Amino acid sequence: MQQSDTIQRFIFDQKDIRGEIVHLNKSYQKAIHGHEYPAVIQTLLADALVSVTLLSATLKFKGRLSIQLQGGDTISLLLVQITHNQEMRATIKWEGDTENKALTELIKNANLVITIEPEEGQRYQGIVPLKGDRFNQFIEKYFEQSEQLPTRIWLVSDQQHTAGLLLQRLPEKENQIRSNEQDWEHFTILTETLKDTELLNLPNSELLYRLYHSETVKIFKPQTVQYVCGCSREKCENAIISLGPQEIESIKKEEEFIEIKCDFCNKNYHFDIVDLTRLQNLSEEKFQKNS
């Protein structure tokens, strides 16, 4: 059985090439739970979840990494985020019919932005060209333009699992450019033989032996990946309080209750008149204190 909810690094002995393998099972199920995603939308979300996990393993930082697709004719928003300790969350919104539409149609007129938000240091944001017909090609383009590192990514998913493999050529050392180019071509050709069912179902050690049995591969300890939304009733209450007492009073007059739905985990938070009155009083105290 394949590793569940992990990312695992590997390198080749005496070669300036590295790799990562991601498997998402429970975390993937949490991301789609409660959402009735059309097949093409779910595939796009799966690809984005694996891609952001692969990206987080190649960028050495403490903070948060986001991949955001926005402004498309059909896909109005795709947002996947992951922290340095491999906690992720995701949401996707679309309008109209998606049946029989290719990815290029779904993302027409959209922008893809990758954002790095370190705990310390400057925030970085890069716009990625939407060239190609698969999500992996967008991320490969990101590495080409932002990191200047040749990178290949393979992605696959079904209704229960999603997985991905990244292969990356490291910066050349002096007088090794030609040998690096030859190694890169050799390993990408080998990896192109990878089958979707193998990436989804084989244990990483068996998969790497299947692909590179004539090479010496070092496999590192896998890291656990988990889906953590981060929403809470307390955060919803603070959002209501921030509206101000007058706005809360208007809500009370129009509605007997309100519900706040989390876009990431689909959880509903219910606030009745009693709740709203309590929060209105807290809002009044806050605004008086700050005035």
Using the predicted structure, report yes or no on whether residue 155 has a pLDDT greater than 90: yes
Question: What is the predicted pLDDT for the residue at 202?
Answer: 94
All domains in the chain, ordered by first residue? 6-227 (3.55.30.10), 233-290 (3.90.1280.10)
Is the pLDDT confidence value at 192 over 70? yes
Residue 125 pLDDT > 70 = yes
Q: What spatial distance separates the first Cα and last Cα of the chain, rounded to whole Å?
A: 61
- Higher pLDDT residue, 103 or 189? 189
Gap between the Cα atoms of 75 and 55, Å rounded? 22
pLDDT bracket for residue 267 (50, 70, 90): confident
Percentage with pLDDT > 90 across the chain: 54
Residue that wins the pLDDT comparison between 33 and 19 = 19
Q: Specify the pLDDT at position 91.
A: 92
CA distance 135 to 188: 18
